[in-house]
């Protein structure tokens, strides 16, 4: 068999932090590890995007843009990768094209090499501006389709969406299994079809929530997948990825040998294990195998948050009813995938349907916006009666949602006049306005030098 070494992206600084310690990993703890990671020879290290941006300014009092620059200094030989929510960037709503373009430009200028744009509805129109800007900046665009299970999510749909992304000029294609639902033999069938369909490398992302992660990777590798996502063992398994070291050892001496140094990985894992102790209070406790996810399809983070809120509202005894309602709501909303922000939309609406005692007695503004077409085109048709009830005579939209959003850049600059002129700061404000202003105040206080009192002014 011809040699076909598999490449690895390690998720230690992004997905691992988000999945295991509520995205609380601080830059000061990343930097010493980053210097060693740079010697490994990874395809890339995921270190930005997703919830990291929000967490930096909301909880850690850190500038997310500084995180890119500082990690780049420590990892000059390793490609730095981010996940980006298409037209929603790292926020939770769609932003105008002028903001999206500047965000991607600044991320690239600060040091991001590979962009992984995805859309919760797999509406390729919502990925177009990001991909075009990434290409314009001379960086790597990894077009992404989310994997989920439903009557409309066929292999044919995945292939069709992948071809649409390739037509936009992507450099890599990623199949993103954010909940760990992809079974090994299904992965093999999909990868084989993708390899026959696409002319770009295939990157597979999964989680180990169901316990199938490593087996899924192995069958995908045998089918020809080019790149897989893993994480160093202290953060692995459960709601995160399979362990890097185990996959490297499994493939050693085979045609798929990664060529990575196990001794070096073990040494870094020791450092990571020690570092992780500092974040014990944020550990989710969602370790091991959660077989329920194959039925509920609810990612671990969403499930833990839902349980906590129901407990706080003294409604935990209604959990099973809500779990039964979730797939019904998902069907009504066009079989959308359970990934940010659609996972939250479905869970909240299902909870209201149960707790109010009447389905859709209360319709959230997010559910209404999804039925209006404000998030894009759903994978399957929505419930027409529910849509009619929610829109109250208003016509749904069928265009790309961002086409209806006017430019905002000049207005954002005006709003921040006298506060900051940095484009990175303006982007932070565009995404999280209230949190950003508080962050800027705290940062300015830290950077303001203390007033020096001269000796002549001191009273003897």
CA-CA distance, 137 to 116, in Å (whole number)? 15
pTM of the model: 0.93
DSSP per-residue string spanning 45-80: EEEEETTHHHHIIIII---HHHHHHHHHHH-TTS-E
The predicted pLDDT at position 456 comes to: 39
CA-CA distance, 182 to 171, in Å (whole number)? 23
Task: Let me know: does 126 contact 119? Beta carbons within 8 Å.
Answer: yes
DSSP state for residue 141 in the 8-state scheme: E
- Least confident stretch, 174-183, 289-298, 408-417: 289-298
- Least confident stretch, 295-299, 354-358, 398-402: 295-299
- Least confident stretch, 169-173, 216-220, 452-456: 452-456
Task: Let me know: does 302 contact 347? Beta carbons within 8 Å.
Answer: yes
Residue 294 has pLDDT above 90, yes or no: no
Q: What are phi and psi of 231, to 5 degrees?
A: -145, 150
What tens digit of pLDDT does each residue of 214-246 get? 999 999 999 999 999 999 999 999 889 999 999
Residue 286 has pLDDT above 50, yes or no: yes
% of residues, the chain, pLDDT over 70: 95
Beta-strand relationship, 227-230 and 202-205: parallel
Residue 449 has pLDDT above 60, yes or no: no
Phi-psi region of 211 (alpha: psi -120 to 50; beta: other; left: phi over 0): left
Residue 150 has pLDDT above 60, yes or no: yes
CA-CA distance, 41 to 9, in Å (whole number)? 10
The predicted pLDDT at position 287 comes to: 66
Burial class (CB in 10 A: 0-12, 13-18, 19+), 257: middle
Name all contacts of 350-355 with Cβ < 8 Å and 24+ positions apart: 350/322, 350/325, 350/326, 351/306, 351/310, 351/322, 351/325, 353/325, 353/329, 354/318, 354/321, 354/322, 354/325, 355/315, 355/318
| Closest C-alpha to 147, from 338, 292, 290, 345 | 338
| Non-local CB neighbours of 5 within 8 Å, separated by 6+ positions | 256, 257, 258, 259
**What number of other Cβ atoms are within 10 A of residue 439's Cβ?**
22
SS3 label, residue 229 = strand
CA-CA distance, 111 to 44, in Å (whole number)? 13
Task: Let me know: does 25 contact 280? Beta carbons within 8 Å.
Answer: no
CA-CA distance, 424 to 3, in Å (whole number)? 44
Beta-strand relationship, 114-117 and 140-146: parallel
Task: Let me know: does 251 contact 257? Beta carbons within 8 Å.
Answer: yes
What does the CA dihedral 217, 218, 223, 229 come to, rounded to 10 degrees? Answer: 30
**Domains along the chain?**
7-282 (3.20.20.70), 298-403 (1.10.472.90), 408-447 (no CATH)
Mean pLDDT, residues 127-135: 98
Beta-strand relationship, 80-84 and 114-117: parallel
Go through 100-116 and write b for each residue having 16 or more CB atoms within 10 A of its CB, e for each that does not.
bbbbbbbbbebbbbbbb
């Amino acid at each position: 068999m011809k040699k076909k070494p598999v490449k690895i992206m390690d998720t230690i600084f992004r997905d691992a932090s988000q999945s295991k310690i509520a995205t609380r990993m601080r830059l000061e703890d990343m930097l010493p590890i980053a210097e060693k990671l740079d010697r490994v020879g990874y395809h890339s290290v995921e270190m930005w995007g997703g919830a990291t941006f929000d967490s930096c300014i909301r909880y850690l009092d850190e500038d997310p843009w500084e995180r890119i620059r500082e990690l780049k200094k420590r990892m000059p030989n390793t490609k730095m990768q981010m996940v980006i929510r298409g037209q929603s960037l790292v926020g939770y709503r769609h932003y105008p094209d002028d903001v999206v373009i500047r965000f991607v430009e600044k991320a690239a200028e600060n040091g991001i090499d590979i962009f992984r744009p995805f859309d919760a509805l797999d509406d390729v129109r919502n990925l177009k501006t990001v991909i075009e800007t990434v290409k314009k900046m001379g960086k790597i665009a990894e077009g992404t389709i989310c994997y989920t299970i439903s009557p409309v999510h066929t292999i044919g749909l995945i292939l069709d969406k992948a071809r649409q992304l390739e037509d936009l000029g992507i450099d890599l294609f990623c199949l993103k299994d954010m909940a760990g639902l992809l079974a090994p033999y299904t992965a093999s069938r999909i990868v084989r079809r993708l390899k026959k369909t696409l002319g770009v490398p295939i990157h597979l992302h999964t989680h180990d929530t169901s316990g199938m992660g490593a087996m899924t990777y192995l069958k995908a590798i045998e089918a020809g997948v080019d790149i897989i996502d893993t994480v160093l063992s202290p953060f692995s398994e459960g709601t995160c990825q399979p362990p890097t070291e185990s996959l490297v050892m499994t493939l050693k001496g085979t045609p798929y040998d990664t060529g990575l140094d196990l001794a070096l990985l073990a040494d870094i894992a020791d450092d990571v294990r020690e570092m992780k102790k500092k974040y014990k209070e944020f550990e989710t406790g969602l370790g091991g195998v959660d077989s329920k996810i194959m039925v509920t399809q609810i990612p671990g983070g969403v499930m833990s948050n839902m349980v906590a809120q129901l407990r706080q509202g003294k409604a935990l005894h209604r959990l099973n009813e809500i779990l039964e309602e979730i797939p019904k709501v998902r069907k009504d909303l066009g079989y959308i995938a359970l990934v940010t922000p659609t996972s939250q939309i479905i869970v909240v609406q299902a909870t209201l349907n149960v707790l109010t005692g009447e389905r859709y007695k209360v319709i959230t503004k997010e559910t209404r916006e999804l039925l209006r077409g404000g998030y894009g085109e759903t994978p399957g048709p929505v419930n027409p009666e529910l849509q009619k009830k929610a829109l109250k005579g208003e016509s749904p939209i069928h265009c790309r949602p961002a086409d209806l959003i006017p430019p905002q850049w000049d207005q954002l600059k005006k709003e921040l006049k006298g506060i900051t002129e940095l484009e990175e700061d303006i982007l932070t404000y565009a995404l999280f306005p209230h949190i950003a202003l508080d962050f800027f105040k705290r940062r300015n206080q830290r950077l303001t030098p203390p007033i020096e009192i001269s000796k002549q002014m001191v009273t003897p």
